[in-house]
Amino acid sequence: MVGLGAGLGIGMVAALLGVAGGELLIPTIVLLYGLDIKVASSLSLAISLPTMLVGFARYTRSDAFAVLCHERLLFGAMSLGSILGAILGGLMLGLVPSRVLTTLLGAILLILAFKTFQHSH
């Protein structure tokens, strides 16, 4: 029941923000279930896929994807970088200790939270 509730909350936030929810899923899986960050990351990817598909279907009916036409270069560069990063990260699997990954994720989330509250349109 806890997993269903967490998934419902994360799914709603992900849909509202137009994200896959990984930034919330990984900490939730680690904190609620005490799983290793590497396992939590893998689960997050598997859980995010249906969320992304539903979000993609929903946002294609609105003008939310119009920004892709205006930001083609950024979209292409980040997509290519993400693919290459996933390949390199997969090759490094087992080389980086979980404690380092957990600390790095925490630091990234803190920096993003700080930047988000400073951001204005």
Condensed to tens digits (0 to 9), the pLDDT of residues 60-98 reads 777 767 777 788 899 889 989 989 998 998 888 788 888
Identify the pLDDT of residue 80: 95
Domain range list for the chain: 2-118
pTM: 0.61
Classify residue 74 by its DSSP letter: H
Q: What is the rounded CA–CA span in Å between residue 113 and residue 91?
A: 29
From CA 39, how far away is CA 16, in angstroms rounded? Answer: 26
